Amino acid sequence: MDAFAEYSRWLENVKDESLLEDLRSIEGNEEEIRGRFHEHLSFGTAGMRGVLQAGSNRMNIYTVGRATQGLADYINEVYGGGAVAVSYDSRIMSEEFAHETASILAANGVKAYIYSRLMPVPMLSYAVRELKCQAGVMVTASHNPSQYNGYKVYGSDGCQLTDDDADAVLRRIQKHDYFSGIKNMDFDKAVSEGLVEFIAKKVCESYYSDLMTCRINPEIPLKKHNISVVYTPLNGAGNEPVRRVLEMCGYDKVTVVPEQENPDGNFPTCPYPNPETDEARRLGLELSAKVNPDVFIATDPDADRVGVAFREKDGSYRSLTGNEAGILMLDYILKGLTENGKLPENAVVCRSIVSSSMADEIAANYGAEMRTVLTGFKYIGEQILLLEQAGEENRFVFGFEESCGYLGGSFVRDKDGVYACMILCELTSYYKSKGTTPLEVLDQLYDKYGYYRHKVDNVAFPGADGVDNMKALTAALRKDPLTEIAGFKIVETDDIMKKEHTAEDGTVTPIDLPAADVLIYTLENGAKVIVRPSGTEPKMKLYLSAKEDSAEKSDILVGKLEEGIKEATGLK
């Protein structure tokens, strides 16, 4: 793709004045032009995501339009027509992109159901299934910085697209030009003609009702054991649904961080609105120090991820990692269902391959089957679909990823931060009624199963060549395999790209997972190091895990692993 020729073509064809001004501002800047026009914005199972700017490799009304035309073609050619559910979060241009998506679908004879105001990922996934749509579109860039937006596409099962379906949509997208051949119509006209329909309130109410069935101990909160909560939606889409669900459960002592309550795509208080980070949690924890709640919870802009901190005995707050929150919820759910006689026979729980294997021990303790899947919540959703096809979806109990994504029940097929907030508050209230705290319970779990420690390190690969450089690094690791990390011998290697497990004696056996650019190293001391390029950001992700007989020893080992893998790979 000739970046400079494409830049000139956009200058000639762009009608949007703000984008045209943006194009003119980079005239003569070869590096910037190359970055924006050297390729098309990639489209895959996670849809597409990019910086809000003019350019074929950026998020704008033209790249959204081209993608939607391809999706409309896919719906018409594969299903012979149908419907698509559309939602959006608080990001800059999210509503405009959502309306453009609905208008193009309508012009192509595909019915568009759209929320009348911003709604989170789980409610989009729910609407796809509830309205029997052939697909769904969520306009969001999840927890990326404010200059990003994105376009997630869901299949008829409410999951993000599979590899095959994403490829099928992409082939149709590639047939279209940004400036011609894209059918469109006025949004208001499409609404008046019934081609675009606002999603009815009863769909939201049905989602809330289904959530209530996921409570483990629905009598909680008891009057004398009610809890206080500080919550932040981080200026995103979680404010309304999270507060509504907590109210339905009886939690009436909820304080919302005022600076982060209302939707604002600029995210003025935390440029990187990821509830895993100290920066995003700062205001909430400062408010917690004044209000003294039992629990502090935070959802990201599209409310599919949740961060949590619990009050210590000394009044301070301890933030949990995504793994710790997942482990705590998993044990609470399995324990409660068992005690209440409601644990399904042959119960199924899921985790991603980069999430804590401590969960495997907890699942086994309650007789539940653990299914380990690739990173990406669509793979957990896929397991629910398989159960559903066998008439056994009630066997699915819980699934999680270390990146603060959690799901219970089978009516949503993506991360559900609203559900996670409900369960985290419920277990806080439950343990309070028993005279203990979530942190004390977590420490007891470590005493029982061992001191698992995990760390995720992100190494940025910026620039137009970032993705290629990441691929080159993992290719080099395959060509010249590592034999040790931090002085510890590698005894097993799982190459998910090759779908091969290599044992210490060199024996190779197949791995029953879809191919993915992931390398998993198991060391002689039982520790693990995982190397994986991010699927949504130009970052190499390093996952480090250790299990020792004390927290201190595990933390020290994780530090050694981090230093060792960076030295072995040349990463900084």
Q: At what angle do helices 239-249 and 201-212 cross, to 10 degrees?
A: 50
CA dihedral sign of residues 362, 367, 368, 374: positive
Taking only the tens place, the pLDDT of each residue in 421-470 is: 999 999 999 999 999 999 999 999 999 999 999 999 989 888 767 788 88
Nearest to 467 by CA among 33, 165, 49: 49
The alpha carbon of 120 is separated from its chain's Cα centroid by a whole number of angstroms, namely: 12
The 3 state secondary structure assigned to 326-348 is HHHHHHHHHHHHHHCCCCCCCCE
**Residues present in the chain in total:** 572
Per-residue CA distances from 352 to 24, 64, 221 (Å)? 45, 30, 31
Cβ-proximal residues to 156 (8 Å cutoff; 6+ apart), any chain: 128, 129, 132, 133, 134, 135
Same domain for 464 and 410: no
Do 377 and 47 meet the contact criterion of CB atoms below 8 Å apart?
no
Q: For strands 369-373 and 306-311, give the pairing.
A: unpaired
Residues 82, 178, single domain; the answer is: yes
59 and 166 share one domain: yes
- Does 16 score more than 60 pLDDT? yes
Task: Please check whether residue 248 lies inside any domain of the structure.
Answer: no
Q: Is it the case that residue 46 has pLDDT exceeding 70?
A: yes
CA atoms within 13 A on the CB side of 232: 30
Q: Give the mean model confidence (pLDDT) for residues 94-117.
A: 98
Indicate if the pLDDT at residue 221 is higher than 70. no
Mean pLDDT over 151-180 rounds to 96
Looking at every residue in the chain, the average pLDDT score rounds to 95
Question: What's the rounded mean pLDDT across residues 372-397?
Answer: 96
- Please indicate, yes or no, whether residues 121 and 69 belong to a single structural domain of this protein: yes
Q: What is the pLDDT of residues 113-142, one digit of tens each?
A: 999 999 999 999 999 999 999 999 999 999
| Residues 262 and 256: beta-carbon distance below 8 Å | no
Residue 571's pLDDT is what? Answer: 85
User: Is the Cβ–Cβ distance between 63 and 104 less than 8 Å?
Assistant: no
Give residue 225's pLDDT: 66
Same domain, 505 and 368: no
* Residue 146: predicted pLDDT: 95
Note the pLDDT of residue 307.
98
Q: What DSSP state is assigned to residue 366?
A: T
Tokens 């998910």 map to which residue? 496
Same domain, 463 and 556: yes
Instruction: Name beta bridge partners: 408.
Output: none
User: pLDDT exceeding 70 applies to what percent of the chain?
Assistant: 99
Dmax (CA) for the chain in angstroms is 70
pLDDT at 464: 65
Region for 338 from its dihedrals, namely left if φ exceeds 0, alpha if ψ lies in -120 to 50, beta otherwise: alpha
Non-local (6+) Cβ contacts of 205 within 8 A are none
pLDDT tops 70 at residue 211 = yes
372 has which bridge partners? 351
Is there a domain that residue 250 lies in? Answer: no
Specify if 211 maps to a domain.
no
Task: Give the per-residue pLDDT at 465.
Answer: 76
Query: In the prediction, which pLDDT does 191 show?
Result: 98
Phi and psi torsions of 508, nearest 5°: -110, 130
CATH of the domain at 457: 3.30.310.50
Query: What CA–CA distance (Å, rounded) separates 545 from 556?
Result: 11
Residues 470 and 410 in one domain: no
Burial, 310: exposed, middle or buried (Cβ in 10 Å; 0-12, 13-18, 19+)? buried
- The secondary element (H helix, E strand) that includes residue 48 is strand 48-51
Q: Tell me: the pLDDT tens digits for 345-357?
A: 999 999 999 999 9
Rounded to 5 degrees, φ, ψ at 262 are: -85, 150
**Structural domain that includes position 461:** 451-569
- Backbone φ and ψ for 142, nearest 5 degrees, come out as 55, -115
Q: What is residue 461's predicted lDDT score, i.e. its pLDDT?
A: 86
What CATH number is given to the structural domain containing 116? 3.40.120.10
Domain check: are 113 and 186 in the same one? Answer: yes
Q: Is the pLDDT confidence value at 229 over 80?
A: yes
CA distances for 293 relative to 155, 263, 326, angstroms? 40, 24, 21
3-state class (DSSP) for residue 307: strand
398 and 470 part of one domain: no
Q: Which residue has the tokens 């933030």?
A: 319
Q: Which helix (H) or strand (E) holds 297?
A: strand 295-299
Residue 11, domain member (yes or no) = no
> Tell me, what's the pLDDT at 65?
98
Query: Mean pLDDT throughout 315-324?
Result: 96
537-556 confidence digits (pLDDT tens): 778 999 999 999 999 999 99
Is the confidence at residue 71, as pLDDT, over 90?
yes
Structural tokens at position 259: 């600076």
Using the predicted structure, report yes or no on whether residue 227 has a pLDDT greater than 90.
yes
Residue 151, in any domain of the structure? yes
How much is the pLDDT for 123? 98
Distance separating alpha carbons of residues 401 and 380, to the nearest angstrom: 9
High-pLDDT (> 90) share of the chain, %: 91
The residue from 193, 211, 237 where one domain ends is 193
Q: How many CB atoms lie within 10 A of CB 556?
A: 14
**Domain count across the chain:** 3
Q: Of the residues 415, 439, 468, which one is the last residue of a structural domain?
A: 415
Region 372-394: mean pLDDT is 95
End-to-end CA, the chain: 32
Give the catalytic positions in this structure.
Answer: 142
Work out the pLDDT band at 264, boundaries 50, 70, 90. Answer: very high
pLDDT score recorded for residue 224: 59
Which of 59-63, 248-252, 404-408 is predicted with the least confidence, judged by mean pLDDT?
248-252
Q: What is the pLDDT of residue 468?
A: 84
Q: Are residues 375 and 459 in the same domain?
A: no
| The pLDDT value given to residue 538 | 79
Q: Is 26 inside any structural domain?
A: no
Choosing from 193, 226, 250, the residue where a domain stops is 193
**348-352/369-373 β-pairing:** parallel
Tokens linked to 237: 């889409």
Structure tokens at 316: 């301070």
* C-alpha to C-alpha distance for 360 and 492, rounded to whole angstroms: 19
Locate tokens 């940025």: which residue? 460
Provide CB contacts within 8 A for 531, sequence distance 6+.
Answer: 474, 477, 518, 519, 521, 540, 541, 542, 565, 569
pLDDT band at 493 (very low <50, low <70, confident <90, very high): very high
> Does the structure show a pLDDT above 60 at 223?
no
Tell me, what's the pLDDT at 555? 95
Same domain, 96 and 173: yes
* One domain, residues 409 and 530: no
Residues in CB range of 246: below 8 A, 6 or more apart: 229, 231, 254, 421, 422, 425
